[in-house]
Amino acid sequence: MGASKKKKFYNLKSDTDDSVTFPAKNRFRKENIDTVIAKITEYTKNVKAPVMEFVKIMTNDPFKILVGTLLSSRTNDNTTSKVLANFFMNVEKADDINDMSVKELEELIFPVGFYRTKAKHLKELPIVLKNKFNGIIPETIEELVQLPGVGRKTANLVMILAFEQPAMCVDVHVHRISNRIGIIKTKNPLDSELALREVIPLKYWMKYNFILVAFGQNLCKPTFPRCTICPVEKYCEKYSVNLRP
């Protein structure tokens, strides 16, 4: 197939490019959402789970889940696992951080992504918790985002993992894959969160992030997704997909 024909169906630019075009044929249908989620769930049973699922298995402590979620951002799962194991050997509860300097925290969490910024946020965490929330991890998204370094993605994940409340956690995988398939058509993660809340049935909210992260790490990767072996290929619009030449 020549380059001009390919462009009719697939945009060849990056996911973040605004000039994307939709495929000539709309393949995704809203009524297929249960099938698509069932097939992705089935696929992810046989692949490695995202690190935060393991954290949840190990602890129900909201403080540990919050710290794990913060440190896992922009960090690969292997590094996150090692750093968290070491961190929780030194820090059991938020107040333990009061005795540590930012420099000590940096050394403890190195080499997670943005470790200097995250160390500063960790240092502020027990102070903000005490001043605003009586030392207790709050249980709403609106309150969680008032904690240092906590954005909507982290807050939604903490709601799911720590408090077992349905929430829609949108990270790069969820944003990318939901748009590729055609479930939503959005430009940024916040718009995706709002759009997914409308279209994804509530019963799937708690697992939607985990299955899409595992799916995105193993099959629907940022570049060159493995469409030829994908279980949802026939439902997918492949919007903005960069196919292997």
173 belongs to the binding site for ligand SF4 (CB under 6 A): no
Residue carrying the six token digits 């333990």 = 96
Q: Which stretch binds ligand SF4 (CB under 6 A): 102-110, 155-163, 189-197, 234-242?
A: 234-242
122 belongs to the binding site for ligand SF4 (CB under 6 A): no
Cβ closer to ligand SF4: 28 or 87?
28
Which of 207, 237, 229 is closest to 27 using CA atoms?
Answer: 237
We find the least distance from the C-beta atom of residue 78 to ligand SF4, in angstroms, to be 24
Rounded distance between C-alpha atoms, residue 72 and residue 109, angstroms = 10
Enter the DSSP assignment of 22: -
Q: Which of 236, 242, 244, 245 binds ligand SF4 (CB under 6 A)?
A: 236
Per the rule left: phi > 0, alpha: psi between -120 and 50, beta: everything else, 29 is beta
Which residues, 6 or more positions from 93, have their beta carbon under 8 angstroms from its beta carbon? Answer: 63
Joined together, the tokens standing for residue 141 give: 């998204």
x/- track of binding to ligand SF4 for residues 196-225 (CB under 6 A): -----------------------xx----x
141 belongs to the binding site for ligand SF4 (CB under 6 A): no
We find the least distance from the C-beta atom of residue 245 to ligand SF4, in angstroms, to be 15
Per the rule left: phi > 0, alpha: psi between -120 and 50, beta: everything else, 238 is left
Joined together, the tokens standing for residue 229 give: 């072996």
Rounded distance between C-alpha atoms, residue 188 and residue 92, angstroms = 36
Cβ closer to ligand SF4: 70 or 195?
195
174 belongs to the binding site for ligand SF4 (CB under 6 A): no
Per the rule left: phi > 0, alpha: psi between -120 and 50, beta: everything else, 192 is alpha
241 belongs to the binding site for ligand SF4 (CB under 6 A): yes
Residue carrying the six token digits 């997909």 = 241
Rounded distance between C-alpha atoms, residue 211 and residue 154, angstroms = 17
Q: Which of 125, 162, 181, 211 binds ligand SF4 (CB under 6 A)?
A: 181
180 belongs to the binding site for ligand SF4 (CB under 6 A): yes
We find the least distance from the C-beta atom of residue 170 to ligand SF4, in angstroms, to be 16
74 belongs to the binding site for ligand SF4 (CB under 6 A): no
Chain residues binding ligand SF4 by CB under 6 A are 177, 180-181, 219-220, 225-227, 230, 232-233, 236, 238, 241
